[in-house]
């Protein structure tokens, strides 16, 4: 059963999101012209008020021109500044009541500023790309931008017909009229705002493997000139999908897509049902295969099972990092133990002032968090043994499917599968800063 966490403002991003209500569904109708980088959109947002009447609320939206705002078809009072659209309905929304917000906006989308550079909508040389983690979603649509507020999406994008549109979910229709084509996608599974990815470009689409009866359709969308290299680099993704379903449980969505841009990206980025890679991740030599595994694993950890707030990010990245090691171990590469030893050597030479349970905003994407997260899961595996560990992981995904979680919830969950208390393990690996000894198989304490 999915668990929706009710939390206040995110301590890392207090200006993003509004915990006084939750969104049930977004219906986005967009028109994008790549040449002038012009976006016009309409959002219809179906939401539910929290435990108190809503006399006002906010959506996050970047610096666009607002054409119209309605709440339940009535004109509210609103202000729009600093990335926040503050709305005061003409009539307060009753506690627990459903309501609908309609917003029309237009302008030239651009990334929103962050400590990690621009995030969200990025204009490319010939197209556009949206990678929003953690706070880039308002760069292109109005949203309640907090990871625990998960909603379904219907997204319609009209572009010149030379361009293809790729987003997560199922393609319902593709309709061409004159010189434009409208692409309509449905993402029926609850999705965090930052996980709505988008790629607009001139792509060739290929099927990755044969899903067969009951299998998961997997497609690649790539520039034609990169197809030979892509075909080798992503050839083993169907085998990854099979392995991760064995280890983590059934793939949680209807389809999985990979989009590759003609431009380079610092790192690939996950979205729900979609992963975005740069041309530099396609070399024809499987040089980025661990990242292919990493992004696929996020579909279970981060996307299906999401975090209640950004303090918990190690639950996303630690699992994705450990999935890299599991794929290596099961595909003829180095074992998880060997990779854990390498990570431990790396961390031992770096500052030991990071705590997984609350790394701080500055360190939430620090490489140490990824490596230590993977090591923590390896320590749990060593303490539980393989059978109990993977049973625990599959149960974690099943119990929290489409919901949001915390570190405390994970610690409590692991305890159900342990023969003896693991308080010391988590105190050392998750809540402490000093690096514990390398975990070894069969070491019950693993600290």
Residue 317 annotated as lining a ligand binding site:
yes
The secondary structure of 233-281 as a DSSP string is: HTTTHHHHHHHHHHHH-S-SSS-EEEEE-SS--SS-EEETTEEEE-GGG
Burial letters 44-72, b for 16+ CB under 10 A, else e: ebebebbeeebeebbbbbbbbebeebbbe
Task: Check 26, 256, 322, 370 and give the catalytic one.
Answer: 370
Question: Which residue in 102, 65, 99, 101 sits closest to 80, CA to CA?
Answer: 65
Q: What is the 3-state secondary structure (H, E, C) of 60-115?
A: ECCCCEEEEEEECCECCEEEEECCEEEEECCCCECCCCEEEEEEEEEECCCCECCC
Beta carbons of 392 and 384 less than 8 angstroms apart: yes
Residue 80 annotated as lining a ligand binding site:
no
DSSP three-state, residue 171: strand
Which sign, positive or negative, has the C-alpha torsion 423, 429, 430, 432?
positive
Task: Check 289, 295, 324, 371 and give the catalytic one.
Answer: 295
What are the phi and psi torsion angles at 172 (to 5°)?
-85, -50
156 CB contacts (<8 Å, ≥6 apart)? 28, 29, 30, 182, 183, 184, 185
CA distance 274 to 256: 6
**H or E element that contains 326:** helix 314-330
Is there a catalytic annotation at residue 295? yes
Is there a catalytic annotation at residue 185? no
Query: Torsion-angle region of residue 117: left (phi > 0), alpha (psi -120 to 50) or beta?
Result: left
Beta carbons of 234 and 222 less than 8 angstroms apart: no
Residue 294 annotated as lining a ligand binding site:
yes
Q: Which residues are catalytic?
A: 295, 370
- Output the known binding site: 294, 298, 317
- Output the known binding site for Zn(2+): 294, 298, 317
């Amino acid at each position: 059963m999915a668990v929706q966490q009710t939390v206040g403002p995110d301590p890392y991003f207090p200006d993003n999101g509004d915990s006084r209500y939750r969104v049930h569904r977004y219906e986005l109708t967009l028109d994008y012209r790549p040449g002038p980088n012009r976006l016009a959109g309409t959002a219809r947002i179906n939401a539910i008020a929290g435990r108190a009447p809503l006399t006002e609320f906010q959506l996050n939206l970047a610096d666009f021109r607002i054409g119209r705002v309605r709440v339940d078809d009535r004109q509210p009072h609103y202000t729009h500044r600093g990335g926040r659209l503050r709305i005061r309905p003409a009539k307060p929304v009753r506690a627990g009541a459903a309501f609908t917000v309609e917003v029309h906006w237009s302008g030239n989308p651009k990334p929103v500023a962050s400590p990690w550079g621009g995030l969200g909508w990025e204009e490319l040389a010939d197209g556009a790309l949206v990678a929003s983690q953690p706070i880039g979603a308002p760069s292109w649509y109005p949203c309640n931008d907090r990871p625990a507020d998960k909603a379904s999406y219907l997204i319609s994008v009209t572009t010149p017909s030379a361009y293809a549109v790729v987003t997560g979910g199922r393609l319902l229709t593709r309709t061409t009229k004159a010189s434009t084509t409208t692409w309509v996608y449905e993402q029926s599974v609850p999705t965090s705002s930052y996980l709505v990815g988008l790629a607009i470009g001139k792509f060739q689409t290929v099927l990755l493997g044969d899903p067969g009866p009951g299998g998961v359709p997997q497609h690649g969308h790539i520039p034609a000139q990169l197809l030979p290299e892509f075909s080798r680099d992503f050839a083993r993704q169907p085998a990854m999908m099979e392995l991760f379903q064995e280890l983590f449980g059934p793939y949680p969505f209807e389809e999985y897509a990979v989009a590759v841009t003609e431009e380079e990206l610092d790192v690939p980025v996950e979205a729900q049902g979609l992963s975005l890679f740069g041309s530099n991740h396609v070399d024809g030599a499987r040089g980025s295969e661990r990242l292919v595994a990493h992004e696929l694993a996020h579909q279970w950890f981060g996307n299906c099972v999401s975090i209640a707030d950004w303090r918990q990010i190690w639950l996303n990245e630690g699992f994705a990092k450990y999935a890299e090691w599991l794929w290596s171990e099961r595909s003829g590469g180095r074992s998880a133990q060997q990779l854990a030893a390498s990570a431990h050597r790396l961390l031992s030479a770096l500052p030991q002032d990071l705590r997984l349970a609350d790394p701080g905003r500055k360190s939430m994407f620090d490489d140490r968090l990824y490596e230590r997260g993977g090591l923590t899961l390896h320590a749990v595996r060593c303490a539980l043994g393989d059978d109990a560990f993977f049973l625990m992981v599959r149960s974690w995904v099943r119990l929290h499917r489409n919901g949001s979680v915390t570190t405390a919830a994970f610690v409590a969950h692991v305890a159900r599968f342990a023969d003896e208390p693991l308080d010391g393990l988590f105190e050392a690996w998750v809540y402490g800063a000093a690096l514990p000894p390398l975990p070894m198989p069969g070491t019950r304490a693993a600290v």
